[in-house]
Structure 1
């Protein structure tokens, strides 16, 4: 499908549940609707009111047609990281998407392509990498560091100075003691209370959190 140049509008990748959440965020924030959405599922119905323009691979041609910005609305951390890098190489800008209810300290830094959903709080001097999902109602306290393409799920609370590695997942309602380190690609389970460091690629859960088999 040929798409005319759409300055100020972005291309959305992913028409699933997270894509719907991102679209609602954009509308609540008063942003223009996406110029279109791409999805690899041939049975995908797309997103309401947004043109479905084909599979993810169509992004290259759409960039040549004049689309300037994009956002990867996929929950899978490694895939989101991969696609974000590919889009940057194609020349797309990856803007930060922030819900109006999110509270972000003036000294915090948010990386390109990240999304802050409703009621997110990011504290003083916190650093959030590129393509990060800060999901509904999570709290990232002062001096915390969130690695590229990580996902902090709804209701999770990260104490001051917590470090979360690239592509790690902090599950729904988890609580992380100040200063703990979550390794790259690790998974913290739903409702876990993390009081000690978590190794890369490890899976932990429980209160207090312990390794899961």
Structure 2
């Protein structure tokens, strides 16, 4: 798990200027990161977000790297898009720092991969694993021995009991609960407020209590 001293935390470029960027900016500030270099977004909602300047679109990334930018945080809610952008940033030479809100509770034995974000009041249990660019959002509980895949998103208020696997790019909707030992496959979507009591196949869309397949 990354735990850099505050003096070693980099100034980052934030990619994405939507709602998720607001939460990322607050987490960066709370974690003691230096002020961000700015935001990059081809379709920003305005010239600034939470006091951080929008520098331009994606065309700014090579220029910022050439000017000495070393690290970026991908503030995009779309799971597959977040992974693609993260891969592109790495290919350009950007580092993807782990972002852990200081109000989160994270076991010393948890493993957190590059670019993952853990928001305020989230709890990560012993021997849990968070993949690259995963998001564990506000007040979510990821219990012992969970495996959260690359680009997966555990939305606010979710509760995952022990030994749960959430596949790459999967989305667990707001306030959902998952019983012990369940596997939710890659690219699956679980609707808000669901109770997941049986395995969910890759790519499936389920919802309800208990969670059942949803019509597309």
The structure 1 residue matched to 2:28, chosen from 19, 23, 26, is 26
Q: Per-residue deviation at 1:89?
A: 0.8
Name the counterpart of 1:171: 173
Q: CA deviation digits over 1:96-155, x for unaligned, max 9?
A: 111111111111000100111100100000000000111000000000000000000000
User: SS where residue 52 of structure 1 aligns?
Assistant: strand
Name the counterpart of 2:137: 135
Using the size of structure 2 for normalisation, the TM-score is 0.93
Q: Per-residue deviation at 1:56?
A: 2.2
Report the more deviating stretch, 74-83 or 26-35.
Answer: 26-35
- Please tell me whether the aligned partners of residues 135 and 154 of structure 1 are also in contact (alpha carbons under 8 angstroms): yes
Listed as ranges, the gaps of 5+ residues in structure 2 are: 1-8
In 1, Cα distance between the equivalents of 2:28 and 2:125?
Answer: 23
Name the counterpart of 2:190: 188
Q: CA deviation digits over 1:54-99, x for unaligned, max 9?
A: 1123212211111000010000111100000011111111001111
Alignment of 1:29-108 (within 5 A): 29-41=31-43, 44-108=46-110
Q: Per-residue deviation at 1:173?
A: 0.5
Q: Call closer, same or farther: CA 1:95–1:42 in 2, change over 3 Å.
A: closer
Listed as ranges, the gaps of 5+ residues in structure 1 are: 1-6
User: SS where residue 11 of structure 1 aligns?
Assistant: strand
In 2, Cα distance between the equivalents of 1:60 and 1:183?
Answer: 35
Q: Per-residue deviation at 1:40?
A: 1.2
In 2, Cα distance between the equivalents of 1:153 and 1:48?
Answer: 22
In 1, Cα distance between the equivalents of 2:99 and 2:18?
Answer: 17
Name the counterpart of 2:19: 17
Q: Per-residue deviation at 1:26?
A: 1.2
Using the size of structure 1 for normalisation, the TM-score is 0.94
User: SS where residue 14 of structure 2 aligns?
Assistant: strand
Q: Per-residue deviation at 1:32?
A: 1.3
Q: Call closer, same or farther: CA 1:101–1:64 in 2, change over 3 Å.
A: same
- Please tell me whether the aligned partners of residues 10 and 33 of structure 2 are also in contact (alpha carbons under 8 angstroms): no
Number of positions where the alignment pairs a residue of Structure 1 with one of Structure 2: 207
User: SS where residue 12 of structure 1 aligns?
Assistant: strand
CA RMSD of aligned residues (A): 1.2
Report the more deviating stretch, 49-58 or 19-28.
Answer: 49-58
Name the counterpart of 2:6: none
